[in-house]
Structure 1
Amino acid sequence: MQLRLEPVRFRDAAAFVQMWHRYNQKATGCKFCIGVADDSNVLRGVAIVGRPSARMLDNGHTLEVTRTATDGTWNVNSMLYAAAWNAAKALGYRRLVTYNHARMYGPLCPGPCLHESCRWIRVGESGVSLKAAGWRIVAQRPARAGWSCPSRPRDLNGSEGIPKTLWEAAS
């Protein structure tokens, strides 16, 4: 199967994410979207790129991959991350970031374990697609209870209580 990059409208990318993504809610906006289609013109994955969610990163030269979603086709996610960085660079941006849910293990084993008695817990993503696309880890962010505070109340978004890994592609 041959894969190729395709431009995707935001509404189509958002619908694809809603159909295929495991836990994230609908994205609220973007700077651009990228898709990967196969030789039968079937869309296999999308990336939505927008302004950084962290205000301190929103410096005019940084963008964030806010969502990626695939149907499970091999190598599509890596292709999306590489293409997103190439597009951001072509538009004059100097940095592209994204977050993924960090891997957590516990309570009895420090790493992946197949012992039923250990009751190992594994959540999160390995980041192998990001590594394959040439991205690097910048920071590990601890789990948060949520973003709501008295001065700025917010609804829960479903990703509370999970540590995150901050990745970047930069020139």
Structure 2
Amino acid sequence: MDRWTSLAGRWERLSLDIVPITLKEANQFVADHHRHHGPVTGHKFSIAVSDGVGIVGVAIVGRPVSRYLDDGWTLEVTRLCTDATKNACSMLYAAAWRAAHSMGYKKLITYILESETGASLRAAGWKCVGQAGGLRWTGKRRPEVDLYPAQMKLRFEKE
């Protein structure tokens, strides 16, 4: 994917490329840029997208948070975060699926807030399978302060 920028008064093309990134580096990007989530504890792999100058987005992929979906064949994009660079989200979702699939996984899932459009997911070939989760955590382990906006989530899958 190409991006244009003005350098010294003339327009030049910057291409976007998928690059490897460590969990520590990806978590730092999430801490600096994500609207409502913080870093994660672990992962299976992380990838980034670069504009040739720096990192403009990251995807962190791990085991599904839901124990019911953790079947050994499914992974979850637990964080996806960009600096709003055009096409970075859809590039990361598509690259995450290619990597997971090439590792032998059969399904990749992720969740977005109901208020988000899911356009990047659909552009990368993912399907919305409906609402998931609740408005808030419940039970003994519920945090005192909500960790994310109290909205229903939408689950997307790629098989």
Which category describes the TM-score, using the shorter chain as reference length?
0.7 to 0.9
Distance apart, 1:132 and its partner CA: 0.3
CA contact (8 A) 1:138 1:168 kept: yes
Does structure 2 retain, via aligned residues, the 8 Å contact 1:143–1:160? no
Inter-partner Cα distance in structure 1 for 2:136 and 2:76:
22
**2:4 counterpart residue number:** none
Offset from partner CA, 1:63-103 (integer Å, 9 cap, x none): 00000110111000000000000000000000000000012
Aligned to 2:46: 33
Q: Report the equivalent of 2:81.
A: 69
Partner residue, 2:23: 10
Deviations 1:116-162 (A, max 9, x none): xxxxxxxxx10000000000001212632323x13xx2314422520
Counterparts of 1:154 and 1:142 in 2: how far apart (Å)? 14
Query: Does structure 2 conserve the Cα–Cα contact (< 8 Å) formed by 1:130 and 1:136?
Result: yes
Determine the C-alpha separation between the residues in 1 that align with 2:108 and 2:133: 21
Q: Which structure has greater strand proportion?
A: 2
Percent identity, aligned pairs only, is: 44
Aligned length: 145
1:131 aligns with 2:134: no
Question: Which residue of 2 is the match for residue 165 of structure 1?
Answer: 154
Tell me if the contact between 2:36 and 2:149 (Cα under 8 Å) persists in the aligned partners: no
What's the counterpart of residue 111 of structure 1? none
Relative to structure 1, the CA distance from residue 157 to residue 48 in structure 2 (aligned partners, 3 Å threshold; closer, same or farther) is: farther
Look up the match of 2:99: 87
C-alpha RMSD of the superposition: 1.3
Q: Is the 8 A contact 1:141 1:163 kept in 2?
A: yes
Please tell me whether the aligned partners of residues 136 and 146 of structure 2 are also in contact (alpha carbons under 8 angstroms): no
Distance 1:160 1:47 in 2: 20
TM-score (norm 1): 0.81
Q: Equivalent residue for 1:52?
A: 64
Aligned residue for 1:86, secondary structure, equals: helix
TM (normalized to structure 2)?
A: 0.87
Q: Distance in 2 between matches of 1:69 and 1:143?
A: 22
Unaligned runs of 5+ in 1: 104-124
